[in-house]
């Protein structure tokens, strides 16, 4: 057996470093090979284009809210409530009339379109204030 001098290292530390490096490299290789692949970009882009076909300012039925259109269930089309009649009222009027009569009067200048409600809480039509 040879004598070891102070500060002299033996080779097992070199092998330990090499083994740790080899294990880490193997782990990285396995992680890279099993990683999920991204989807087809062309298909994803087509889906986004189809979803945005309504454009900005449109609702689920295609009514352009920024131009003042709202859906009329009675007519089955988009209308401008201050211009066209909607038999049975719009969704806003049906919810407004279902709440019941209001005890306070609305402030002037806040709204120019009001709902006409029947005595039993049903929406009759939009009414433009003259």
Assigned domain for 65 exists:
yes
Range of the domain at 115: 58-128
Please, what is the Cα angle at 111 between 118 and 101, to 5 degrees? 30
Q: Does 44 map to a domain?
A: no
Q: What's the structural domain count of the chain?
A: 1
Q: What is the average pLDDT value for the chain, to the nearest integer? A: 74
pLDDT digit string, tens, across residues 44-66: 555 544 444 556 778 888 888 88
- Between 31 and 5, whose confidence is greater? 31
Question: Is 0.85 topped by the overall pTM?
Answer: no
Residue 31 domain flag: no
**For residues 93-122, b (16+ Cβ closer than 10 Å) or e, as one string?**
bbebbeeeeeeeeeeeeeeebebebeeeee
Q: Taking the alpha carbons of 120, 121, 126, 130 in that order, is the dihedral positive or negative?
A: positive
DSSP annotation of 9 reads -
Q: Give the per-residue pLDDT at 22.
A: 96
CB atoms within 10 A of CB 70: 21
């Amino acid at each position: 057996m040879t004598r070891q001098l102070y500060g002299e290292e033996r080779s097992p530390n070199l092998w330990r470093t090499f083994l740790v490096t080899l294990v880490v490299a193997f782990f990285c290789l396995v992680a890279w090979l099993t990683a999920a692949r991204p989807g087809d970009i062309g298909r994803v882009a087509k889906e986004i284009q189809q979803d945005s076909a309504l454009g900005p300012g449109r609702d689920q039925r295609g009514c352009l809210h920024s131009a003042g259109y709202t859906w009329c269930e009675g007519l089955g089309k988009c209308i401008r409530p201050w211009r066209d009649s909607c038999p049975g009222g719009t969704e806003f009027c049906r919810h407004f009339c279902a709440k019941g009569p209001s005890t306070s009067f609305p402030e002037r200048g806040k709204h120019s379109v009001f709902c006409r409600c029947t005595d039993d809480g049903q929406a009759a039509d939009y009414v433009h204030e003259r």
